Structure 1
Amino acid sequence: MLARLSTGGALIGRRALSTQATGSFQLTRLANGVRVATDGAPGHFSALGIYVDAGSRYEAYPQLAGLSHIMDRLAFKATQKRSGDEMADALDKLGGNYMCASSREALMYQAAVFNQDVEAMFGLVADTVRWPDITREEVQEQLATAEYEIREIWQKPELIQPEIMHMAAFHGNTLGNPLLCPEEQLSQITPEHVLEYRRMFFTPERTVAAFVGVDHARAVQLAEQYLGDMPAATLPVPDEPARYTGGLVELPPHEPIGNLPELAYVHLAFEGLSISDPDLYALATLQTLLGGGGSFSAGGPGKGMYSRLYTNVLNQNGALESCQAFNHSYTDSGLFGIAGSCIPEAAHTLTAIMCYELVRCMLPAYKRHSLSEREVQRAKNQLRSSLLMNLESRMIELEDLGRQVQVHGTKIPAEEMCDKIERLTADDIRRVARRVLVDGVGNGGSGKPTVVLQGREGSFGDVLDTVRRFGLGK
């Protein structure tokens, strides 16, 4: 699946070890291990970022719990070279288009600027990555902000249920570690914990500097200037493989805000595929084919909602508020399934509706309601269109570049991805659906379903029995 890079012996910069190039993509590894990647045609704007191989999946030790979330909150604040006000003022003068995001497998520092401001902005990004001023006052302020953020997210089922789903699917390990800092952990975090986290993860071999629309030689020079002296790791990193467990979690009903109706919620998931799995393109096409969304978008002639969850579910069941397929892929595992919501009186039917649609994706070609080549082609076209339109954004193109180099060590061209999608057939989609939903992905996981319910107690019936009766999971 991975593109093979041709390796030349050219050196860029005094300390660069090697440079690799394929098309417009170039990758150089500095002597200390930092990888510098560039791609994208020149334009009026450039995008740049630093990607650190960190995240909640590595928070295996109690003293690490929640620190990825707090590192996100501490970004672009006071550093050893600038006060918080000076940092904010410098960022505003450059347009203010910057961000930091923490995920389960990465910390991402990104920005977009006019071409003439690339060096100034990269200096600010490198400053917050390399030299943050981790004071007790700053940490306490960001912990208070995180506490408010956590409480707000817990009040929004559509945001917190995917988090609960991960925690149930990978119970007690890696991808199941909470992305949000646990509320009870907030009082335990100190500046010393933050510094220990930084010594463990902010190391050159775990760092990628990515640039879109920037000349490669210039990018290497900037990376060498600001990151070339990063010290090597001194602390071991907990790095175990993901272990899918599956599980059932039941949450009390969500109290609706204002005049909004009370709803019941179901997340039904199975172990999905890793980012590097050859079948990932087929699974992504299956997600697009199932599609879905909210009931507001489902009705009305001429809306063009052709996905199966729109036509077979939302257009046929007035009691459902939403129904949508999801697909989360990580370096060594993933989650695939359907999330839905409905009025409480229909909660007992929601899981069966989801299971029925999943089973229909595996029906042999000669069966009624089986996948047709026409709808598979429509889903492939939609997936390719979405991929290419997303890459029109400099920031999305940057994140794609940085994360691909971080995960694969190279970049897969969009043309290659589109070609792999186009070669898929309905038989491929059926085979991969059965692999994920019935047989197990062969990753050593339990094969059991993961279910998250939120609603009135007893209103859903025996959900696990329903899943078993449809022949899904193990």
Structure 2
Amino acid sequence: MTTTVRTPGAGADAPAPGVLRSELPGGIRLVTETVPGVRSVSLGIWIGIGSRDETPEQAGAAHFLEHLLFKGTQRRTASGIAEAIDAVGGELNAFTAKEHTCYYAHVLDTDVALAIDLLADVVTDARLAHADTELERSVVLEEIAMRDDDPEDLLGELFDEALFGDHPLGLPIVGSEDSIRGMSRETLHAFWRSEYTTPRMVVAAAGNLSHGHLADLAGAALAAAAERTSPGVAPIAPRRGGTRPVAPGSVVLHSDDTEQAHLLLGVPGIDRHDPRRRALAVLNAALGGGLSSRLFQQVREQRGLAYSVYSSTASYADAGSLSVYAGCAPERLGEVAGVVRDVLADVAASGLTTAELVRAQGSLRGGLVLGSEDTPSRMNRIGRSELDHGRQRSLTESLDGIAAVTADEVAEVARDLLSQPLTAAVVGPFDEVDDLPAALQA
């Protein structure tokens, strides 16, 4: 028995078109969006557990499991899983983030029953055999080595560690070489069984589908997992609060013999529940979100100092970040850092021009619409919204919210965030932090 309700969008009288929500036995939430005119369905099982939920002994467990669960279930071998999805021309994969994990499939609408059965089988009934654990341990270690060979990936983790310090958000999603080598099959199994519980699960789907039919399929596929949960249990509420990390500002270096110097310069941001989040999105777009952004124009177009320069934000339940990336010749690092600092200081002091505000709002609105025209993007949007906020926002609500941002709101969030001490992370051919340019030492 499921109860189906249309999820509110901009208000009780303005539902999100095509989005329906049910609660299944075991506290599982099902959210779907019907997309007219397509012949596919994107389907994901989201679990509200990520790398920040690991103990030091479990560092990297969520990501390790993402690999290991595909190695076989009680009903299927690893090759059987791969053959089943290949036989229908579908895609089956997963990703791990700091606060959630998602196992997903993209199939023809005629194969949705197979997709939900495969996903539920992998997520809830994997074997986690000792031999498979050892085999996949080597794969994860290779992934860590590959990360270490990619300056931008390594830089992001270095920056998070410097910005968030001992906070769980500062830990790498993949864990460390030591934690993966030392992680036992028993540790992984205990993490899986204790954290992958049905009240933490959201089944999200978008495409040519019937909500009622998918509710029946998901309820049956996840029935055994739901039975392991206390009867009548409610879904776990969206994550809120926590201990906010304190970043006093620092400079960290990973010395590497690279052709370029790679820089991330930034400050603590805001959490995803903060009412200023749309103003921050507009600020980010104007700073480094496109070809007309201030950083792109100042660093690349007017001075030719770097090929790649952009800004980005990250928002979690209790924290966030605003950062600027640039890759340049090592001898130009000081000049690049100086220009970036000047741009940030100017925006903190004076805000955006009217033209910048209008362009940033238009860029965000266009990107939001264009990014919603395929079923994987829509599945990701509704799945994350349910986990992070417990509600769905209609596209109209989101577009109107961006358009309503004022210059004063952007100026306020710029002043609040960009007046904080800067944290810098560098990957490049420098021996010591003291060897870095003066613009990074201030």
Same-fold status (TM-score > 0.5): yes
Is residue 30–residue 202 contact of structure 2 (8 Å, CA) maintained in 1? yes
Aligned with residue 273 of structure 2, among 272, 276, 281: 276
Corresponding residue number in structure 1 for 2:12: none
> 1:33: how far off?
0.5
What CA distance in whole angstroms lies between the structure 1 residues aligned with 2:438 and 2:243? 28
TM-score by length of 2: 0.89
Alignment of 1:388 with 2:389, yes or no, is: no
What CA distance in whole angstroms lies between the structure 2 residues aligned with 1:242 and 1:159? 26
Q: Which moved more, 1:185-194 or 1:318-327?
A: 318-327
> 1:17: how far off?
5.3
What CA distance in whole angstroms lies between the structure 2 residues aligned with 1:388 and 1:274? 24
What CA distance in whole angstroms lies between the structure 2 residues aligned with 1:418 and 1:140? 48
Corresponding residue number in structure 1 for 2:11: none
Aligned with residue 436 of structure 1, among 417, 422, 434: 417
What CA distance in whole angstroms lies between the structure 2 residues aligned with 1:436 and 1:335? 9
In structure 1, runs of 5+ residues without a counterpart are 1-13, 257-261, 294-304, 365-369, 439-446, 467-474
Is residue 54–residue 107 contact of structure 1 (8 Å, CA) maintained in 2? yes
Aligned with residue 43 of structure 2, among 44, 48, 53: 48
Is residue 99–residue 111 contact of structure 1 (8 Å, CA) maintained in 2? yes
What CA distance in whole angstroms lies between the structure 2 residues aligned with 1:344 and 1:405? 44
Q: Greater helix share, 1 or 2? A: 2
Aligned with residue 190 of structure 1, among 164, 184, 188: 184
Alignment of 1:209 with 2:203, yes or no, is: yes
Q: Cα gap change, 1:463/1:453 in structure 2, threshold over 3 Å: closer, same or farther? A: farther
Cα offsets for 1:143-180 (capped at 9, x unmatched): 10111111111111111111111122111122112111
Corresponding residue number in structure 2 for 1:179: 173
Corresponding residue number in structure 1 for 2:387: 406
Alignment of 1:145 with 2:113, yes or no, is: no
Corresponding residue number in structure 2 for 1:223: 218
Alignment of 1:166 with 2:142, yes or no, is: no
> 1:463: how far off?
5.0
**3-state SS of 2:370 partner:** helix
Is residue 26–residue 37 contact of structure 1 (8 Å, CA) maintained in 2? yes
**3-state SS of 2:71 partner:** coil
Is residue 34–residue 228 contact of structure 1 (8 Å, CA) maintained in 2? no
Q: Cα gap change, 1:112/1:332 in structure 2, threshold over 3 Å: closer, same or farther? A: same
Alignment of 1:309 with 2:295, yes or no, is: yes
**3-state SS of 1:24 partner:** strand
Mapping of residues 300-339 of structure 1, within 5 Å: 305-339=291-325
Cα offsets for 1:337-393 (capped at 9, x unmatched): 2112222222223322111111222344xxxxx622122111111111111111112
Aligned with residue 98 of structure 2, among 101, 104, 115: 104
Corresponding residue number in structure 2 for 1:418: 399
Is residue 161–residue 170 contact of structure 2 (8 Å, CA) maintained in 1? yes
In structure 2, runs of 5+ residues without a counterpart are 8-14
What CA distance in whole angstroms lies between the structure 2 residues aligned with 1:310 and 1:92? 42
Is residue 98–residue 110 contact of structure 1 (8 Å, CA) maintained in 2? yes
Q: Which moved more, 1:152-161 or 1:310-319?
A: 310-319
Cα offsets for 1:216-250 (capped at 9, x unmatched): 1112111210123322289x9x9982432325353
TM-score by length of 1: 0.84
Question: What is the percent sequence identity of the aligned residues?
Answer: 28
Alignment of 1:288 with 2:285, yes or no, is: yes
Q: Cα gap change, 1:307/1:239 in structure 2, threshold over 3 Å: closer, same or farther? A: closer
Is residue 48–residue 200 contact of structure 2 (8 Å, CA) maintained in 1? yes
Cα offsets for 1:228-286 (capped at 9, x unmatched): 3322289x9x9982432325353243323xxxxx2222211111122222211111111
Mapping of residues 16-35 of structure 1, within 5 Å: 16=2, 19-21=5-7, 22=15, 23-35=17-29
**3-state SS of 2:106 partner:** strand
**3-state SS of 2:322 partner:** strand
Q: Cα gap change, 1:454/1:85 in structure 2, threshold over 3 Å: closer, same or farther? A: closer
What CA distance in whole angstroms lies between the structure 1 residues aligned with 2:287 and 2:45? 35
What CA distance in whole angstroms lies between the structure 2 residues aligned with 1:329 and 1:322? 23
What CA distance in whole angstroms lies between the structure 2 residues aligned with 1:38 and 1:373? 39
Corresponding residue number in structure 2 for 1:444: none
Cα offsets for 1:37-69 (capped at 9, x unmatched): 11132421111110001110111x222111011
Could you tell me which amino acid in structure 1 is paired with residue 282 of structure 2? T
What CA distance in whole angstroms lies between the structure 1 residues aligned with 2:356 and 2:30? 41
Could you tell me which amino acid in structure 1 is paired with residue 100 of structure 2? A
Mapping of residues 72-87 of structure 1, within 5 Å: 72-87=66-81
Q: Cα gap change, 1:292/1:418 in structure 2, threshold over 3 Å: closer, same or farther? A: closer
Aligned residues: 420
Higher relative contact order (CA 8 A, sep 6+): 2
Q: Cα gap change, 1:100/1:400 in structure 2, threshold over 3 Å: closer, same or farther? A: same
Aligned-pair Cα RMSD in Å: 2.2
